[in-house]
Amino acid sequence: MKTSAYSLHLDTGEIVSVMTVTGSANTRRRSRRATLDAGPYAGYVGGRHDGRTTYVLGEKPTPRPAQRTSLDGLTLRDLPAPCAIIINGQEYQCVDTVAELDLAGAAMYHIRVRAWPHMDWECTVENPAP
């Protein structure tokens, strides 16, 4: 009996799960079909792929592009537009390529920029006391 791995993806190409199936070719085919029919999946590609670094484009596993986002003081630059800026878990939508961070209070802030299909960009910012 053969064991095969398949990466399941959404219609956006986002890989959301990996399944491993052991059995004959017919068993593996039926298992893939039942999984696709039962879930929100648009399809699958052969192999075990990490959705944090790979997505499906044209039914092929493809490296997710890195963002060019940078932090200059409290200004985010080269943002992919549109994107979501997440500050300590609170999400803000952004349609520009530059964003000024307005951080209230002296603290450490975890910043994440999310824009599909780019890989997430993250940093930590210390906002000093005035």
Q: Which domain holds residue 79?
A: 70-127
Element (H, E) at 22: strand 15-23
23 and 76 share one domain: no
52 and 83 share one domain: no
Its pTM surpasses 0.85: no
Q: Is 89 left (phi over 0), alpha (psi -120 to 50) or beta?
A: left
46 and 78 share one domain: no
8 and 47 share one domain: yes
Span between the terminal Cα atoms of the chain, in Å: 67
Which amino acid is present at 120?
D
58 and 75 share one domain: no
pLDDT tens digits, one per residue of 36-95: 888 899 999 999 999 999 999 999 999 999 999 999 999 999 999 999 999 999 999 999
Under DSSP, the state recorded for 48 is: -
97 and 119 share one domain: yes
Element (H, E) at 33: helix 25-38
42 and 86 share one domain: no
Task: Provide the number of structural domains found in the chain.
Answer: 2
Q: What's the rounded Cα separation, in Å, for the pair 76 and 35?
A: 41
